Every structure is written in C-alpha cells, then in structure tokens.
Structure 1
C-alpha cells in the first residue's frame, strides 16, 4: 500500500520534459566528470540517441588520440579509419580504381558501390599441426609459389564476378586475413579490401543488411551501399546506426571521455523512455511522507515510521548544507502543501522552487525506481524469518 501511495504521488508531481530540459539534465550528469564543461558532448549524446531511436547498442564509439574532448563528432552510419593496415588511403584507392580517374574521382564526396562481407581469409591455407611441407628442389619451391598464386587468384576472381567494389574481411587470429598477393590482385580488379574486427561482424551484418559469407562457394550476389569520404575516414551509410568519434590528448583522457559519454547516453535514454521530471531537493520525499501520514488504513504505527523515514532525505540534505534541519523541515512541510515543487535549496534561501529557481530535477523513472527498491528491500528484510529456516 505504501508503495502505491508513493508511486501515485510521483505520477501526480511529475512534469513533462522539453528538449532544453533534456540538455540541462545531461549537462548536470557531466558536471562531476572530465567533460564537465563540454556542452558539445551533451549535444552529441542527444543527437546520437535520436539517430538510433534510443537504441544504445546501435551506437559505435571510436576513440582517437589527438585533439580535445570538445572535438567529439557524430556520424550517421558506420565509420572506419580511412587507412587500411598497410597505410594506403582507402578513399584514394576506391576512387581511382573504381572510377578510373585519379585526378577527379578523389574529390567525389559519396559513392554507391557493391559490398561483400566475408569470414574467410584471402591468404595461403595453413597445414595441420602434424603436417609439414618438405621442399628439397628449386622446382618444388617454384611450384609452391605458383600454387599459392593460383589459389588466391581464383578466390579473387570469384569475388570479382559478383561486381563487388568494397570487400569487408573478418580479421583472423590464426593467419593473415589478407596477404600481400591478394591485396595486389584486388587492387588490379578495382576492389577495395577493409579488415573488420571479429566482434563487429554481427553489428555490420545487421546494420548494412549484408549476410556474412563463410565460404567462397557460398558467394552469390553483392549488396550496393553508399559510402562517403570524411577526411581520413570512410563512412558506410546506415540510417539505423551512428558512430561517435571521441578525441582526447592521451589514452587516459579518452577512457574517461568514453565513460562520461556512456553516462550521458544513459541519461538521455532514461528521459526518452519516460519524458517526465520531478523536483529534487527532497521535495518528492517530503510529499510522499505527508501523503502517508494522511492515510488512515493499515497499521498506523508502521505508517508513521515509514513517513518519518522519507523525511530523512530533506533532513540530512539541509543538515549537510549547514542549515537548521528542524526549522527547514517545518518550513518545507508548510510550503509544500500549496507548492509541491518546493524543496531544500543549498544555493540561496532555505526553501525554494526546484523547477523554476534552482533547476534541481531528476527523471521520474529514477524516482520511481529508488522508492520501489527501498520499500521492496525493507519488505524482504522483514520477511527474513520466512526465507531462512529456523535452527533447531
């Protein structure tokens, strides 16, 4: 019953949130972190959640050393660094090889190109653990090299027949995902290879709607996607995903920026799921306390004790702010009857409007969770004798 009274009061006291309120709430969550003065990070978190429709798992985060935290960028799609593992510029290769004009094609911002996502290696196969290759003649060495060349060339030709222009290759931990010889053949065939981490394959497959291919014999058709050049990065367009590029002077700052950004995303996600705020400063707790006192049902002694427990939040808040706790609680009880948004202020007067004057708020979803967990925890503690068997 107490839980229902508390949740009903929160439902009554909550106010709808605006986009400006979301921004202020995110800034407040960043105040105690390394990005405490970064308004750009707050804006980026809101933009990222809007792009993915509040699905946090669809956001890819890239950390890049260099610049400052305020240099954060949000891109619609999946972003990859514009240099492959051999240091050649991805866009230059793609534009010059696929369009055949290295002078003009590099300046084209976007391209529609067919893409394949493969999970096998374009490199010579390895022998089993208990096998070995014995070469005792120069002719055999030449034959091995010719066989490797023919094997890789056949793989590249089968890929080329699909019309593929961008080849996404899963990174292997057992052998080279892409050998130098395979890279050479792909370049001659106007195909750009891009090495993808194993953990990103599922994400890419889902967002680009491309089925991963585990064997060369299973290759059928390639899928056309739109790609865009952004400085030294390659952006694979996808309307249901986004990439956030974090910048920082070193790895330590980047790790802290990553944690701060994840906290900001969680705040935005919470407010998007339930776009309502409740006043802070002990206002909600005091209102719940008074509502419980007005209730005439149940065991009155227990109800009074629960009501007094909720008064603990504004009591200790005023005490920590250096105020007279007894006077502050008495004044708050009188004013909250006609002004339910009043709470304990640690900045100006003892009691003020948390929504208008102090701008101290919290998501209604968080307030409901706190109250529910607190009451349920007490219930479980009181039922401890029912849970643990008595000792004979």
Structure 2
C-alpha cells in the first residue's frame, strides 16, 4: 500500500533474522580462506574497472561499497572501517565472528529460543570474553614492538625485503616522535608516495615534507637555518580599500593606468615588507600567492609555498607551533612557528621543501618509493596499519598470544561458564563459544594440514595448562608469545566491543525495507 513497485519488505521475525544472517554469512565466508599468514588474497575489481589484490577486509569492502545493495553489508563495512581507523587490524576476524554469530542465531531461533534471550546471551558472552582477556594478557616491553609490526605486515602480500624495510622505517618514526617522552600519535607521522625506484629507496624525513609546486622562474633560497614559519589562511589580494587611487580610469589615460599599476605593486611590496618584518623565513599559504609576492619574498631570503588544504594547515600548525592567521596584516612574531632547518630537496623531477626539527611537535614523514602505483598503495597500507597497531600497543603494553590461542582460550572458558547458567542464555553463550573456535580452525585449514587434527591437539594442550599455544604459519603448535606472534589487547577489546554493538543492532531489527533503486540523475529540492 505504501511502497512503490520494485521495493522489498521482509515482515516476519524469522524471515528478518534469516535475511540478515544471509548477508552477514556471505561477507564472513569471503574471508574464510584469507585468514592468517597463509591466507589467500582477494582479487577485487572496483567500480572504475581497476583490479587489484586485497588482503584485508577494509580494502576489499571499501572497493565495492557503492555496489552493495543490502543494508547489512553497508553496516558491516562501516564497522570494519571503524576498526581499521581505531586499531588498524582485526577486520577479517570481526567479519568471520559476526557471520558465525548470525548463523548460530538463526539456528537458535529455529529451535525456539526467543530473540531477547539470544541478544542477552550474546552480550553476556562478549562481556565475559573481554574480562577473560585480562587473565591471559602479559606485560611486555618495547622490544616486542618489532615482532608486533612484523606480525601485522606478514599478513600482507609483501616480500621479506619489503617487510624489513617498512618495519625499520615505522620503528624509526615511532622512536623519533616519542623521543621527548610524549605519547605516540600517528597523526604526526605522514606518508608521501613517489613513483620510481623500489622500496629500498624509501627513507624517513625527521620533519615535514611539502610537495607543493611553485613557478620555476622564482629562485627561492635553497637552505635556511633556524627559520621562523608563518601560516596564512587567506589570499594576499587587493580590495577596493587597499589602493590609494581610483579604479575607474580611461584606457587612454596613461597616467591613470600607471597609478593603478603602481598602487598594485606598492600593495604587494607592503605585504612582503610586513611579513619580512615579523622575522618569517618560511611562508606557507592556504591560497595561491601572487608572483610579485613570491618574487619579493625570495629576494628577502624567504621560502614560500601555497595551496594547502585545511588538514595540512592544521598539521603544520601542530608540528611547528605556528598559529594560522587569516589576514596577513595581523601577522606578528608571536604567530610564527619554529624549526631547525628548511631546505629544498629534489626527488625525481620534482622539488620538495623539507622542514626538519619542528620545535613544537616531533613530526616526521615517511617517503615511500615504488615501481608502480599499486605497490605504493600496498606499502602505504602496511605503514598505516603498523602505526595504528603500534599506537594500540603503546597505550597498553599488554599483549595476547596470536595463532588462534586467544580465541580458543575464550571458547573453552565460555563453555565452562555456560554450564553454570540456569536460564536460556546458556545456549547463546555456547554458540558464541563455537564462533570463537572457528578462528583457530580456519588458521589450521589455511596451513594445508588436517584442521581437525590440529584443533584437537591444540585443545588438549590448552586443557593441560598451555593457553599460549597456537598454530604458526607452518601448522606447528608452539608458544606464540615466545615466537613473537602477539596481538595488543586493545585490538582484541576493540573488535569485541564493536561486535557486541553490531550484533545488538542486527538482532533487534523488526522489519527490513529496501527501497526501489532509482536510475539516472535525481534532482531534489
């Protein structure tokens, strides 16, 4: 009666859960064979027709986000994006756990368990799992950071040389940013890509890299020591009240035209004199600078660049301590930032400006080199994931064993706890325990060995008091902490909290309404 022809509506509660579970299971199944270091890549073709390999959940879902027709798929994509932004890892585990949980919820509903009890049982099981992490976690020092980053990068399709190079750059950047004892913030580590060469040519700049282009005929200084830095957010332009002469002149009035030209030139010279009088030796503007301003600044020994976006201006302000000024006439020496060195640097056919030794914040830039754009994107993804995981580790130095050890430990403890429950919540708790056990099973499956044999032996070890034992990349059961296969506790906590939120959102859905897709351009008022 209400919906247009072509729309869909799912009405009954059982049909709703079945519909949602189908979408969640489809996404979870996508990453079954991609879990762990032996996982397979996902060959993705995006909307533009570009093809590439994806080894993490966010990259794969991000490429096809506009082609998703089911609302649950879009919700899962947003959840994976949140996990990737917060901790940088765990997207595939989240998708697999969510798919298994929705599949088991469908079975529980068919067995007669009420939806309210399923929601309560799942929520109680996840909260209990978060509490169990404290008993398994161990405190480690910063020396484990190398193994942690290697563990993250090892999941990406990179060679050993690429992994070692990226790991060294990331660790060097982290040490530089935290050298003054401040808390590590990935915001102060920027990544720049430059096509050409290979990954061995990548390097770390202990400062800010500015890759803006300025006119080639402007000969700016090559090197400035201890520069003062000015940030301008508005253009240096002429307004009607800026000139001493009338604008309206006849084309035949040579003197009038000369007066206007002289007034414009005097305005720009006055702006340059004022900026130089503040002591600024580097001028960075959000808007484009006039050629006369660039020429005047260069003659005074000032390095200048323009066309920065708001995010870049904010980063430069935080790194150098410079305060962004909207009107250049209001610029004072108190608004200037400080650094040790500002110099020009040529890389390939481009000229960059390097600002090293920022006084206010220890900012640095990782410059990545590669022989293709796809390789550069993969390197940048590895650096970004490593920085976010490192932040999680430095916030809380406790780690958990990898290789499926943590998931199997949670699974066994949940089963023991479920037997002491007296209501229907025990059934969803047992099903959630089965979801966690799926992770070590898939890791064993992807090693190429018999998964049930490995899982049975691993269960036996855990029952005998070896909860740190997991499955390594060769299908061997070993102590994951001693082998350096570890995960920050913050990463696992974040995955479980978001899993709890998404499950509650999906299981509380009463109806699913999918509107008819409108083709072509739509004009709205």
Which TM class, normalised by the smaller chain length? 0.7 to 0.9
Identify the residue that residue 130 of structure 2 maps to in structure 1. Answer: 7
Identify the residue that residue 28 of structure 1 maps to in structure 2. Answer: 151
Q: Does 1:282 align with 2:282?
A: no
Q: Does 1:347 align with 2:482?
A: no
Q: Deviations over 1:284-323 (max 9, x none)?
A: 2222222223221243444444433433333343344444
Q: Deviations over 1:338-389 (max 9, x none)?
A: 211122345154x3332335x433322222333444455555555445x99x
Q: Distance in 2 between matches of 1:27 and 1:146?
A: 63
Contact conserved, 2:199 with 2:370, CA < 8 A, in 1? yes
Identify the residue that residue 206 of structure 2 maps to in structure 1. Answer: 76
SS of alignment partner, residue 238 of structure 1: coil
Q: 1:214 aligns with which of 326, 343, 360?
A: 326
Identify the residue that residue 421 of structure 2 maps to in structure 1. Answer: 297
Q: Could you tell me which runs of 5 or more consecutive residues in structure 2 were left unpaired when the two chains were aligned.
A: 1-123, 242-246, 346-352, 513-525
Cα RMSD of the aligned pairs, angstroms, is 3.4
Q: Does 1:308 align with 2:434?
A: yes
Identify the residue that residue 119 of structure 1 maps to in structure 2. Answer: 233
1:272 and 1:123, CA in 2 relative to 1: closer, same or farther beyond 3 A?
same
Q: Does 1:228 align with 2:341?
A: yes
1:206 Cα offset (Å): 2.8
Matches within 5 A, 1:356-367: 356=482, 359-367=484-492
Contact conserved, 1:34 with 1:260, CA < 8 A, in 2? no
Length, aligned pairs only: 362
Q: Distance in 1 between matches of 2:502 and 2:430?
A: 18
1:113 and 1:355, CA in 2 relative to 1: closer, same or farther beyond 3 A?
closer
Q: 1:259 aligns with which of 378, 381, 385?
A: 381
1:45 Cα offset (Å): 1.7
Q: Deviations over 1:122-153 (max 9, x none)?
A: 465699xxx98752344444333222222222
Q: 2:173 aligns with which of 28, 40, 48?
A: 48
Q: Deviations over 1:152-184 (max 9, x none)?
A: 222222233333333333333xxxx122x3333
SS of alignment partner, residue 439 of structure 2: helix
1:275 and 1:87, CA in 2 relative to 1: closer, same or farther beyond 3 A?
farther
Q: Deviations over 1:39-69 (max 9, x none)?
A: 1211222332340632122223332333322
Q: Deviations over 1:183-203 (max 9, x none)?
A: 333344444433351332222
Q: Does 1:268 align with 2:390?
A: yes
Q: Distance in 1 between matches of 2:383 and 2:330?
A: 41
Contact conserved, 1:73 with 1:245, CA < 8 A, in 2? yes
Q: Distance in 1 between matches of 2:170 and 2:149?
A: 8
Q: Distance in 1 between matches of 2:339 and 2:435?
A: 59
Q: Distance in 2 between matches of 1:164 and 1:336?
A: 65
Q: Could you tell me which runs of 5 or more consecutive residues in structure 1 were left unpaired when the two chains were aligned.
A: 96-110
Q: Distance in 2 between matches of 1:289 and 1:254?
A: 39
Contact conserved, 1:153 with 1:182, CA < 8 A, in 2? yes
Identify the residue that residue 201 of structure 1 maps to in structure 2. Answer: 313
Q: Deviations over 1:237-257 (max 9, x none)?
A: 324222222223354433332
Tell me whether 160-169 or 275-284 shows the greater mean CA deviation: 160-169
What TM-score comes out, normalization by structure 2 length?
Answer: 0.60
SS of alignment partner, residue 211 of structure 1: coil
1:136 and 1:55, CA in 2 relative to 1: closer, same or farther beyond 3 A?
same
Q: Deviations over 1:98-121 (max 9, x none)?
A: xxxxxxxxxxxxx22334323344
Contact conserved, 1:165 with 1:190, CA < 8 A, in 2? yes
1:336 Cα offset (Å): 0.7
Q: Distance in 2 between matches of 1:13 and 1:230?
A: 50
What TM-score comes out, normalization by structure 1 length?
Answer: 0.77
Kindly name which structure, 1 or 2, has the bigger radius of gyration based on alpha carbons. 1
Contact conserved, 2:226 with 2:338, CA < 8 A, in 1? yes
SS of alignment partner, residue 393 of structure 2: helix
SS of alignment partner, residue 116 of structure 1: strand
